[in-house]
Structure 1
Amino acid sequence: AVDFLSTQSFVDPQRIGGLGICGSGSFVISAAKIDPRIKAIATVSMYDMGAAARQGLNHAQSLEQRRQMIKAATDQRLVEFNGGPAVHVPGTVNKLEADTSEVQREFFDFYRTSRGAYTAEGERSDLTTQPLFSSLVKFVNFYPFNDIETISPRPMLFISGDHAHSREFSEDAYRRAGQPKERYWVKDAGHVDLYDRTDLIPFARLATFFQQGLAGK
């Protein structure tokens, strides 16, 4: 993407920034570590996809559970290699039950409704956020915050809802990052709120951050 932007006549290649939302927040950090052309980096409702795969939210997954997951994914990959059926991970449930967790309910309200469900003629909308199990486990080897301090002195902004279940990832990244860096908590906002609730998304703060960060101020 940076290569493409750098070749466009309407883009100043010295003023390219990166914004990542949810899982893409960890992707943009990973990219910025090895691409100094990304001059300012912001994340919103960031998920560290590696940590989420390895240990779950709030470190709820044990090492033994991780090992079992890796073994199951390895077995499934061989099944698919031999032409067997694929298995998708229920990243977001397709039906709410009495014991469905609050986190799943939050994602359901986005990905299983008109807010965020992918629908197209002949396509299955229930596969939105339903990745292949054999591929998802690769996130176990993803450590986006390792060496995050090497992004400095390029500025970083971490935005999260103050009620977001994913807030722990922004806290972790901010703690590790070098200067200049900033945390911005959106009052009364959860994780998914900052996907599409335009009354809560801090557009002004993002605009100021990039205007200043890409101007070298």
Structure 2
Amino acid sequence: LNAQRTEDYRDDSYARDGGVLDPVTDDTPQFVKEYHDYYKTERGYHRRSPNSNEGITKTSVLSFINMPLLTYIGEIRSAVLMIHGAEAHSRYFSEDAYKRLTGDNKELLIIPGANHVDLYDNLDVIPFDKIDTFFKKVLKEK
């Protein structure tokens, strides 16, 4: 990453990671195809979205080296509702994070049949009623 920063400085530019793969092929992993179906189509494309276009800078992740994202998750005292698709390749992330939360004001909701991007915009699977109920309950307790 430091070599990339040096190259970016010398070139007076910022190399990008490429965004979501385009085009996809038959042997492309399913979760990448799902990202493609969202970010590279009218469904989720946006001209300023890194995933729809050239991606983030290759060095964007450098700041995370000394600060893993879940370092202080055990200190969260606020209510947490985690919602994840049962078929999402990233499901393990929510399950692992949930185990590290403390307190009794947390909930992990796994949506049967849903993948990662289904929960971005698929109104048939997003559990709006559960979200409403959860937050009404935890906000009322305050």
Q: Does 1:175 align with 2:99?
A: yes
From the superposition, tell whether residues 92 and 85 of structure 1 become closer, same or farther in structure 2 (CA, over 3 Å).
same
Greater relative contact order, per chain length (Cα 8 Å cut-off, separation 6+): 1
Q: Offset of 1:204 from its aligned partner?
A: 0.7
**2:138 is equivalent to residue 210 of structure 1:** no
Query: Structure 1 length as normaliser, TM-score?
Result: 0.59
Aligned match of 1:87 in 15, 19, 31?
15
Aligned partner of 1:187 in structure 2 is 112
The Cα offsets for residues 74-105 of structure 1, whole Å up to 9 and x where unpaired, read as 11111111234431113411211233211211
Report how far residue 110 of structure 1 moved. 0.3
**Structure 2 counterpart of 1:102, one-letter code:** Q
Displacement of 1:109 in angstroms is 0.3
Q: Is residue 118–residue 125 contact of structure 2 (8 Å, CA) maintained in 1?
A: yes
Q: How many correspondences in the alignment?
A: 141
Paired AA for residue 111 in structure 1: Y
1:162 aligns with 2:90: no
Q: Quote the Cα distance in structure 1 between the aligned partners of 2:25 and 2:62.
A: 26
Q: Distance in 2 between matches of 1:199 and 1:134?
A: 37
In structure 2, what is the equivalent of residue 127 of structure 1? 53
- Residue 96 of structure 1 contacts residue 105 of structure 1 at CA under 8 Å; is this kept in 2? yes
Q: Which residue of 1 aligns with 2:46?
A: 118
Q: Does structure 2 conserve the Cα–Cα contact (< 8 Å) formed by 1:94 and 1:126?
A: no
Distance in 2, Cα, partners of 1:89 & 1:102: 20
What are the Cα deviations for residues 147-170 of structure 1, in whole angstroms up to 9, with x where unaligned? Answer: 312213x22111101111111111
RMSD: 2.3
Superposed CA deviations along residues 42-69 of structure 1, whole A, max 9, x for unmatched, are xxxxxxxxxxxxxxxxxxxxxxxxxxxx
1:171 & 1:98 partners in 2: Cα distance? 30
Contact 2:5 2:59 in 1 (8 A): yes
**Percent identity between the two aligned chains:** 34
CA contact (8 A) 1:149 1:178 kept: yes
Task: Describe the SS at the equivalent of 1:212.
Answer: helix
In the alignment, what sits opposite 1:108? Answer: 36
Q: Is the 8 A contact 2:86 2:112 kept in 1?
A: yes
In 1, Cα distance between the equivalents of 2:66 and 2:11? 26
Tell me the secondary structure at the aligned position of residue 127 of structure 1: coil
Quick one: structure 1 residues 139 and 97, their matched pair in 2 at CA, closer, same or farther if it must change by over 3 Å? Answer: farther
TM-score, scaled relative to structure 2: 0.87
Q: What amino acid is aligned across from residue 146 of structure 1 in structure 2?
A: T
Q: 1:124 offset after TM fit, Å?
A: 9.6
Q: How far apart are the structure 2 equivalents of 1:124 and 1:135? A: 12
Instruction: Give the secondary structure class of the aligned counterpart of 1:183.
Output: strand
